[in-house]
Structure 1
Amino acid sequence: MQLFIKNMVCNRCILVVKQVLEAEGLHPKNVKLGEVELDTAPTGQQQEAIKTQLASLGFEVLDNQKQKLIEQIRTTISRLMQSGDLDDNHKFSALLSNALHKDYAQLSKLFSEVEGITIEKYVILQKTERVKELLIYENLTLQEIAFRLGYSSVAHLSAQFKKVTGITPSEFKKLKDQPSR
């Protein structure tokens, strides 16, 4: 049996979800971003307990097929961002289509209808957040970040970052480096 869980975005999320399931006496075969595979289906009581506990931690068990597909799109994009294996020739449309075994036009239409934003804009927002993380937690140059996230150049990364945040990555890094008051 598979469960789809919204808002799983990192390895700590995976760990927390696994702990909640195990506390309910379930032993997940596989837990990855947005998805859990169980050996046995949880009882109705276990399902309610899991939903309640996960909700209190900021997660949501998805029941609706459309919502499940949306979450699969989100987690696939998140996985791609975290992997650092992107290059400037990548096409998210092809990567998503291949990963989810669905036509990209169908995925794009559904995502836009449900989320009110295109997949392309969502990817740009996620890339911007990833740039922030890399600037704060990693000691990487903008050139290295641009390469890791598949930008064609530092100028492209900087322009897109400024369009989203209102400041350049260099300005963001300076803000981050200032001592708190």
Structure 2
Amino acid sequence: MEIVSVKNMVCHRCIIIVTQNVEKLNLGLQKVTLGELIFQTKISDEQKDQVKNILIPFGFEVIDDEKTRIAERIKHIIINLVHYQKEEINSNLSDILSSDLNCVYNYLSGLFSEITGQTIEKYYIAQKIERVKELLDYDELTLSEIANSLNYSSVSYLSNQFKKVAGLPPSAYKLLKYKKRKPLDRL
């Protein structure tokens, strides 16, 4: 088995696009998850180049550097937690990352800052605020329900954090005619 890490895969549509295109190469693709291609057997450098070349037009990059691979893995764990996790989270982020990546959090935190230029906490908050924007756009949940679903301690804490990151309170964001959401791979 071989795992190939891919940068900029941030949603389930990305998984579909990557799967459809890499399967065309007939390299024994077993599974695709956010940020990873899992092949049944080891693939050659030439085959890896084929994968790189087929993904480039879609904005994806194969990652060869171990530190970048870990930073991308951190991003994908956070994206899953914020955007796709349905159950309530009962652990703090540092424990989840340490457990999932089998590394000490201080090491992960320093590595992430070195590679991305921002802290894990800032990235996590940015993802949460984008999720809040998305939920506000759907207009199906109250701000209290949104705060609860994203594990905020209170609506006021969510509102304060939203205003710091987005530059306006959630109520003003809801009134905007043209929303200012960011793509997840640009956070």
**Structure 1 position 85 matched with structure 2 position 87:** yes
Question: How far, CA to CA, are the matches of 1:65 and 1:120 in structure 2?
Answer: 21
Question: How far, CA to CA, are the matches of 2:103 and 2:6 in structure 1?
Answer: 20
Scaled by the length of structure 2, the TM-score of the pair is 0.88
Question: How far, CA to CA, are the matches of 1:43 and 1:20 in structure 2?
Answer: 18
User: How high is the sequence identity, in percent, across the aligned residues?
Assistant: 47
Letter in 1 for 2:59: G
1:177 Cα deviation after fit? 8.1
Q: Which residue of 2 aligns with 1:54?
A: 55
1:138 Cα deviation after fit? 5.5
Q: Which residue of 1 aligns with 2:168?
A: 167
Scaled by the length of structure 1, the TM-score of the pair is 0.90
Asked whether the equivalents of residues 11 and 34 of structure 2 are also in contact (C-alpha less than 8 Å), the reply is: yes
Asked whether the equivalents of residues 4 and 37 of structure 2 are also in contact (C-alpha less than 8 Å), the reply is: yes
Deviations 1:100-142 (A, max 9, x none): 1110000001111111111111111111111111112351111
1:50 Cα deviation after fit? 1.6
Gaps spanning 5+ residues in structure 2: where?
Answer: 180-187
Q: Which residue of 1 aligns with 2:18?
A: 17
Asked whether the equivalents of residues 136 and 176 of structure 1 are also in contact (C-alpha less than 8 Å), the reply is: no
Asked whether the equivalents of residues 4 and 34 of structure 1 are also in contact (C-alpha less than 8 Å), the reply is: yes
Question: How far, CA to CA, are the matches of 1:86 and 1:146 in structure 2?
Answer: 12
More displaced, 41-50 or 106-115? Answer: 41-50
Letter in 1 for 2:136: L
**Structure 1 position 153 matched with structure 2 position 154:** yes
Letter in 2 for 1:85: E
Asked whether the equivalents of residues 161 and 167 of structure 1 are also in contact (C-alpha less than 8 Å), the reply is: yes
What is the Cα-based RMSD across aligned positions, in Å? 1.8
1:35 Cα deviation after fit? 1.2
Asked whether the equivalents of residues 90 and 150 of structure 1 are also in contact (C-alpha less than 8 Å), the reply is: no
How many positions carry a matched residue from both structures?
177
Asked whether the equivalents of residues 135 and 173 of structure 1 are also in contact (C-alpha less than 8 Å), the reply is: yes
Distance 1:172 1:84, change over 3 A: farther
Gaps spanning 5+ residues in structure 1: where?
Answer: none
Question: How far, CA to CA, are the matches of 2:124 and 2:163 in structure 1?
Answer: 15
Matches within 5 A, 1:112-131: 112-131=113-132
Asked whether the equivalents of residues 85 and 148 of structure 1 are also in contact (C-alpha less than 8 Å), the reply is: no
Q: Which residue of 2 aligns with 1:75?
A: 76
Question: How far, CA to CA, are the matches of 1:117 and 1:106 in structure 2?
Answer: 14
